[in-house]
Each structure stands twice: as structure tokens, then as C-alpha cells.
Structure 1
């Protein structure tokens, strides 16, 4: 499953600001609900429930808030770069610069694992995180993240 079919260019945002991870989850829920035609309260409840199980801060400045949403037929995602890092209580204690919000249907948990694996592989590619930090626009951030080659 290609990341470009899950995170579309119009679902990339730069400059969101949140003082806490819980406020960030509210803002991310609002953005996801708007982008995907979902109920904001449902998305927020699902993301908060998942976050209470353990942090979605996977380290190196990245968080992957995710949840199953009833009625979704395919995985959908957002890529957000915060204007100031947010403490997501990541496993390496590094504040979160980027959030990859992943929403999937209740039967799509294996889809989520495949998407998370693809994101992790991409972020481990040499130069990707540096190029993402240097991106000046949402379009540039999307291009850098999705590109097979990083300059």
C-alpha cells in the first residue's frame, strides 16, 4: 500500500501549534474530521483512547497518533509539522516535530501496521528528516517525504 494513496498533498500541514499533546490531539482531530468528512468528537475520542494505552511518540521527533474509526473503508492520513515541538512523551524523550495521523477502519488494523512500517522505513532513509526540517511549504514537505531520492 503506497503512502501516497493514504497521505495526499492536501492533507499536509505546516505550522500547527499546541502547548500539550492533548491539545495537539484536539487540533489533529479537528483537521482530520474536516479533511475526511468525519465527526470530530468521534476522532478525538478514538485518538485519546489510543494515546492512553501508551504514547504514540515513536521517537526522533515523530508521533503517529492512530485509531480505528467505525465506517472507514480505507486508511487515511495527515502529515503535520508543528511550529514548536510538542511533548508527546516519546520513547526517547525527544519532543515531537511531526505527527502522522493515521485513521483506518475497524477491520484495518493490519493496514495500519503496514502503513506505520512504511513511514518508519521512509524516516530511516538517510537525509529525509533533515530535508523535512528544511521544507518551506506543505508541498515541499510532501515532496520530500514521498520522494525516492533526497538531495
Structure 2
């Protein structure tokens, strides 16, 4: 399973402005609910429960909130770039500005879990992260996340 199997261009959100971690997770849940048909409240609940186990903030301004979702038939993901960094209790105590939401079916096979590892590896690439912070459209951001050869991009004016 590839990242592009989980995150579509329609699930790339640039310049979201949440008011803190809790609000960010709720906004992600609302978006995911529209795309998956799962109730937003349940999505927010599983994400919150997962965060209580330990922050999914990886450091360097990146977080990958993820959880297994009852009733979900296939993995779902979304990429969000925030307008300003948001406190997220990340491992390095740095606020987060790049977020990838990943929801997995309850009985996820190993291939579903492998996509989480692929996303984490992709977001450890300093060049990819720097480009994601400058990208000016969802299509280019999607390509940066899903291909090994990132396209040349231009910064927003």
C-alpha cells in the first residue's frame, strides 16, 4: 500500500488555522467524517484517546495523529499545513505546522501499518518538509508526499 492509496489530492488542506491541539483534532475529524462517512465525534474520540497514550508529534514541526477506527473499511489519510504552528506536545516540544491524519480499519493488516511508516519516513526528509512548508497548491503538496521524486515548486508570492 502506498501513501497515494490513502491520501488523495482532495484531502490536502493548506493553511488551516486551528486554536490549539484539541480544536485541530476536531477539525481533522470533521473533514475525515465527510470523506469516510464515519461520525466526526467518534473520529475525534479515537484520535483523542490515542493522543492520551502519547503525543503523535514526531518533532521538527511534524505530527501524524493516527488511530484505528471502528467501522472504517479502508485506510484514510489527510495532509494539513497550518497557517501558524500549534502546540502539540511533540517529542521535541516544538509546535507543529505539518500534520498527516491517518485512520486505519480496526483489523488492519500489516500493509496498512506500513503506510504509517512510509509517511513518517517521508516527513523525516528535511527537503520534503521544507518544500511542504512553501508549496502553494494541493496538487503539488500531494506529489511531494506521494512520490520519491518531488516536483520543482514555486513559493507562494
Q: TM-score over 0.5 for the alignment?
A: yes
TM-score calculated relative to the size of structure 2: 0.89
Quote the offset at 1:112 in angstroms.
4.9
Kindly indicate whether the alpha-carbon contact (under 8 Å) linking 2:86 and 2:97 is maintained by their aligned counterparts in 1. Answer: yes
1:77 aligned residue: 77
Kindly indicate whether the alpha-carbon contact (under 8 Å) linking 2:68 and 2:106 is maintained by their aligned counterparts in 1. Answer: yes
2:120 aligned residue: 120
Partners of 2:112 and 2:50 in 1: how far apart?
Answer: 13
Deviating 4+ runs (over 6 angstroms): none
Partners of 2:57 and 2:126 in 1: how far apart?
Answer: 20
What does 1:2-151 align with in structure 2 at a 5 Å threshold?
2-108=2-108, 110-125=110-125, 127-150=127-150, 151=152
**Root mean square deviation, CA, Å:** 1.5
Instruction: Give the match's secondary structure for 1:26.
Output: helix
Give 5+ residue unaligned stretches, structure 2.
153-157
Give 5+ residue unaligned stretches, structure 1.
none
Quote the offset at 1:136 in angstroms.
0.6
Quote the offset at 1:66 in angstroms.
1.1
Quote the offset at 1:109 in angstroms.
6.5
Instruction: Give the match's secondary structure for 1:127.
Output: helix
CA 1:23–1:126: 2 relative to 1, 3 Å: closer
